[in-house]
Amino acid sequence: MSPRRLLPFLTGALLASGLVALAPVAPVAATPGDPNEAVAIVVNGQGSGHGRGLSQYGALGWAIGRGDGIARDYNWILDHYYSDTVMGSASVGQRITVRMLSYDGASQVSVIAANSNAQWSLNGEVQPGSYASIVARKVSGSEAFDVWGFPYAVCPTSTDPLAWWQYLGRASGARSSAILGFSVPDGDTPATLAANTLGLCGSTGAVTHYRGKFFATFNIEGAVRLVNDVEVESYLRGVVPRESPALWGDWGYGLGINALRAQAVAARSYALAQNRYSPYAKTCDTDTCQVYGGAASRPSADAAATNKEHANTDRAISDTASMIRVRTSAPTVPVSTEFSSSNGARTAGVNFPPVDDAGDQTDFNPFVRWTRVLDMAGLASRAGLARITRIETEPDPTLLAKGTYGSTPAWAVRLRIYNGTQSVTKTTAWLRSAYDLPSESITVSLVNRDFASSNDFVFISDSVGASVATSSGSGELPTLLNSVFDTATYNTESSRCTVGSCSPATSDGLTVARNLTGTPDVAIVELGYNDTQSSLGSEIDQVMQALVGKGVRVVGWVTMSERRMSGSVATYAAGNRAIRAAATRWPQMRVLDWDGASWGGAKDRWYTDDVHLTNTGQAEFALWLRDRAIELAGGRPGSPQWVVKVSPGVDLRIPILETAGAPQSGVTGVSMNFTVVDPAGEGYLTVWPCGSAKPDTSSLNYTPRPLDSLQ
């Protein structure tokens, strides 16, 4: 088929088999296993976090008009997610106490002040003197601290000698009270530069600056606790840019500021509703509560400071000063306005009425749809089963009993895992925790082997392939190809070139091909990103010569993503042309068009930098490679499909193979369906059988409509 003009997508779904468009792989006597045996589990999910209340990505989508075509302000966004609440007002000048979790049980607390004006206090009374550094060490066997001062900014370790430091005294007092305090004179002044606020030394010597002041105490069990006592509005300056990217305020020609305003109100209300560690602290500094990153940071005590606050989030906080969410039945009580990164298509409900979330369903949201591939044996072991024969989701009666979950079934499911007739149930929270999944709103499915072959398989790649298959045979791709081939070799390495030295890689693709052992039959090569694109064609020839010389009968070469641009030119377009051209010189070579399969705005979330892959991208790449490997060996995956970006004037050959790799005898025709997706303008496609003359007429004319198809 040959498209002329523009760049449509082609999706070919096999409806009947028998016509061979490519030279078929010769049938191989296989020793098949059970093609119906499951080898992996695919988890498809939506959202990131608990799904309750405001979605941060959803707020951005609504703010810039991606939800329903109307740009929504922060009042509308908050009313949408917290529909049973209204806007209220907190008292001006309120303070909040924040437990610094990483200092729990610390034997030492050390602070610095850029202006050498750090002070210490004893049971609330400021003591004489100002210092560049103050360190307090817990007295062994006692609920007390010894305190020293120093005229230079230093972050000593807990074992460093303090012979040159000035001993200031011993602090002791009642549990949960402000026994020992640290401050600078202008720590509560909003205009104080972030770098001039009090700096807290970390265990590595790095420093984080915080507004307000600190106190050290002992909790009711006698364990050390460190607390930041700070005005709420100053506290939010360290929270909002950690929870929502400050640059979102510039999105949509500045409309994104409403997402940050909504975040500021939600964060303020949530913080003021907390009273987790009474009597010494109300909230904490990690995502156990909400992330609080302070005002500035330094890699060391004497290094330059980097501001962690941002003008956009400062503006959002100022624009919504003192605003909180309340319920009409308690108009002065702040509501604990939960929020998470992404809710998926509908919020989970529970503490707020569930709502549809079209704002969350945007291409720039990496969590709107996500995928993971799980190892079958590993999950079976975790579930206490010898093997898994079936897995499904079903309504979770415990969650449904909570009421509002029932309006969002996707968030109210559990797993039922079978070994024959034996089954166990597991919560989706269990699965999320076991595999660090983004959320609990999931569906699951088994991937069967589908095909077993006595062929030997080889995979050679750079870092993109290494993200799904390590040389030791771990990763998503080896999991999916478990026992599909007689043997499988994975030789993957970051920074690898096709030919030539590319440090720090230890071997290039040519060396790997030349050193293959055994009798390899089928190979997939994913190389080219690290090569000079103009010379890639000749390098491919060298690798192909080596592989064919080793007896490899069919080689699939993976195209590179053309997302990355060099000016107005796709960086890897020339390399992909070289790959396609090489396939015309080598009858053993097939082009595996990953660029086409991963093209389109909705698939941007598969990429971290237009080349390397997110966790979802890795899962999708591995699933795609698995299908291509089976096709190359002459099999047919359970759901054969090709999704290809077609360049003008380039003929694309679609392989249609029988299970054994050869056409069924007596077949004279084939039925296929092609769909043109997202064409940029008018054009046409021509489809014809390989080996016959290309017709002059088109098979499908298309216009820039969302969908055109040909059967």
* pLDDT band (50, 70, 90) for residue 378: very high
Quote the pLDDT of residue 686.
82
Quote the pLDDT of residue 656.
57
Closest to 687 measured CA to CA, from 678, 700, 675: 700
Range scoring the smallest mean pLDDT among 187-196, 532-541, 639-648, 695-704: 639-648
Residue 638: pLDDT over 70:
no
In angstroms, the CA 489 to CA 323 distance is 60
- Give pTM, 2 decimals: 0.83
DSSP strand pairing (108-112 vs 198-201): antiparallel
- Summarised one tens digit per residue, pLDDT across range 542-594 is 999 999 999 999 999 999 999 999 999 999 999 999 999 999 999 999 999 99
- Summarised one tens digit per residue, pLDDT across range 458-511 is 999 999 999 999 999 999 999 999 999 999 999 999 999 999 999 999 999 999
Range scoring the smallest mean pLDDT among 538-542, 582-586, 657-661, 696-700: 657-661
| Whole-number average pLDDT of the chain | 89
Q: Give the architecture (CATH level 2) of 28-37+449-633.
A: 3-Layer(aba) Sandwich (3.40)
* pLDDT band (50, 70, 90) for residue 361: very high
- Summarised one tens digit per residue, pLDDT across range 197-230 is 999 999 999 999 999 999 999 999 999 999 999 9
Quote the pLDDT of residue 666.
58
- Summarised one tens digit per residue, pLDDT across range 397-417 is 888 777 666 556 778 889 999
- Summarised one tens digit per residue, pLDDT across range 63-112 is 999 999 999 999 999 999 999 999 999 999 999 999 999 999 999 999 99
- Cα–Cα separations (whole angstroms), residue 405 to 338, 340, 413, 431: 15, 16, 10, 19
In angstroms, the CA 472 to CA 199 distance is 45
Query: Identity (one letter) of the amino acid at 288?
Result: T
Quote the pLDDT of residue 567.
95
Quote the pLDDT of residue 405.
61
Q: What is the CA radius of gyration of the chain?
A: 31
Residue 624: pLDDT over 50:
yes
* pLDDT band (50, 70, 90) for residue 62: very high
Neighbours of 6 (CB within 10 A): 17
Whether the CB-CB separation of 184 and 117 falls below 8 Å is answered with yes
* 506, burial (CB in 10 Å: exposed 0-12, middle 13-18, buried 19+): exposed
Closest to 561 measured CA to CA, from 601, 594, 525, 590: 594
Residue ranges per domain, the chain?
1-24+640-711, 28-37+449-633, 38-86+340-448, 96-231+282-309
b/e burial code for range 255-292 (CB count within 10 A of at least 16 → b): bbbbbbbbbbbbbbbbbbbbeebeebbbbbbeeebbbb
In angstroms, the CA 75 to CA 70 distance is 14
Query: What integer is the mean pLDDT of 333-343?
Result: 97
In angstroms, the CA 463 to CA 455 distance is 25
Greatest mean pLDDT among 356-365, 659-668, 681-690 lies in 356-365
* pLDDT band (50, 70, 90) for residue 9: very low
Closest to 494 measured CA to CA, from 506, 479, 476: 506
Neighbours of 628 (CB within 10 A): 20
The two structure tokens encoding residue 565: 């641009």
Residue 314 has, within 13 A of its CA and on its CB side, a CA count of 11
